[in-house]
Amino acid sequence: MARPITKGLAYFPFDTDFFSDRKIKSLRGKYGADGIVVYLYILTEIYKENGYYLKIDGDFYLVASNDLNMSADKIEQIVVFLCERSMLDKQLLVSDDVLTAHSIQRRYQKAVSERGQKRIIEVDRKIWVLKENETEPFIKCTLFLDSSEKNPSYSEKNPSYSEKNPPKENKRKENKSKVSKKESESALSFDSMIDNYTQNEELRFVLKEHLKTRKAKTKAALTNYAIELSFKTLDKLSNSDDGKIRIVKKSIERGWIGFFPEKKDNTPTKAGPLNNFHQDIPDFDAITKNIIERQMSDG
């Protein structure tokens, strides 16, 4: 009996200069070891399942969270970061819920080269991102019309985990892999949080402008929890709207991600001593009197 043909790989090539890659350094600098773990987890899932891509749904982040003992929100933030750095293909993630990349398919092609010498290997033309001059002759790009049936959702491949999570709980995670849609929904959510935080129109305006600066600076997804922490920090730094507005404006001006206390003005004024500084001047007459009285009593 012939052995069944496997689509995935038992192992995949790993570059020895992995940690020297600038994108990997950027990932590690942003998310530390967690970023590396998530990236390697995605690679192993892709190569193990179909070899060159992975079809996901909203449960992917829940399953990965359980496997890696890491929050689903953080994993999703890292996935967005990988898309921004072209380590994952953003367009295919948004349009087809597919995780893949040029580098991933290049390694896959190299790994199956020996297998390709014996038979033609078919790949989905819609998902294959390598150009024609980059694709080996044994790779045949075919349009898989019913790819959804051939590639069940991630939760179906992990039934034990799905049984532990009722459909109602998983429903709120549906469509979370839609990066562009989530970003737009998050923007609306953040605006609502700011409007609920304060009735001061100027404070609302500068907070929303600071949010734009922060997103442009980090180029990563923000969470509701992160915004709530920012509000708490701002409340600790100032009790007045005017003070908060000055703090937020300074943060925007300096390009800061967070909020920091206002510096006290210690510059000298024409009136005399430094502002906010109290200087105790010793009473030399009283000191002299005490010394004379002590000398007289000793004599």
Q: Summarize pLDDT for 138-172 with one digit per residue, the tens.
A: 888 887 655 444 455 555 555 544 455 555 445 45
Dump pLDDT digits (tens) for 84-128: 999 999 999 988 899 999 999 999 988 888 775 667 888 999 999
Do residue 99 and residue 196 come from a single domain?
A: no
Dump pLDDT digits (tens) for 220-268: 556 777 788 788 888 988 889 999 999 999 888 887 777 888 876 555 5
Q: Has residue 13 been placed in a domain?
A: no
Residue 254: the pLDDT is 81
Mean pLDDT score of the chain: 77
Do residue 188 and residue 256 come from a single domain?
A: yes
For 18, which DSSP code? G
Percent of all residues in the chain with a pLDDT value above 90, rounded to a whole number: 31
Do residue 162 and residue 39 come from a single domain?
A: yes
Enter the tokens of residue 171: 């429903």
* Cβ atoms of 218 and 260 closer than 8 Å: no
Last residue of a domain, one of 171, 189, 215: 171
E strand or H helix at 98: strand 98-99
Report the number of distinct structural domains present in the chain: 2
Do residue 44 and residue 166 come from a single domain?
A: yes
Do residue 32 and residue 155 come from a single domain?
A: yes
Last residue of a domain, one of 137, 171, 205: 171
Q: Has residue 4 been placed in a domain?
A: no
Q: Has residue 248 been placed in a domain?
A: yes
Q: Has residue 121 been placed in a domain?
A: yes
Last residue of a domain, one of 147, 171, 195: 171
Do residue 87 and residue 134 come from a single domain?
A: yes
Enter the tokens of residue 142: 């075919």
Q: Which contacts qualify for 43-50: CB closer than 8 Å, 24 or more apart?
A: 43/12, 43/104, 45/99, 46/99, 46/100, 46/104, 47/8, 47/9, 47/11, 47/12, 47/104, 47/107, 47/108, 47/111, 48/8, 48/9, 49/7, 49/8, 49/157, 50/7, 50/8, 50/151
Residue 88: the pLDDT is 95
Do residue 165 and residue 182 come from a single domain?
A: no
pTM: 0.50
* Cβ atoms of 26 and 82 closer than 8 Å: no
Do residue 192 and residue 222 come from a single domain?
A: yes
Distance CA 196, CA 135 (A): 54
Q: Has residue 1 been placed in a domain?
A: no
Do residue 140 and residue 40 come from a single domain?
A: yes
Q: Has residue 103 been placed in a domain?
A: yes
Do residue 250 and residue 133 come from a single domain?
A: no
Q: Has residue 149 been placed in a domain?
A: yes
Dump pLDDT digits (tens) for 1-55: 444 456 788 888 888 899 999 999 999 999 999 999 999 999 999 999 888 999 9
For residue 206, is pLDDT > 70?
yes
Do residue 55 and residue 165 come from a single domain?
A: yes
Whose CA is closest to 221, among 161, 180, 170? 180
Percent of all residues in the chain with a pLDDT value above 70, rounded to a whole number: 68
Do residue 157 and residue 34 come from a single domain?
A: yes
Residue 55: the pLDDT is 93
**For residue 119, what are the domain limits?**
18-171
Q: Has residue 205 been placed in a domain?
A: yes
**Amino acid, single-letter form, for residue 218:** T
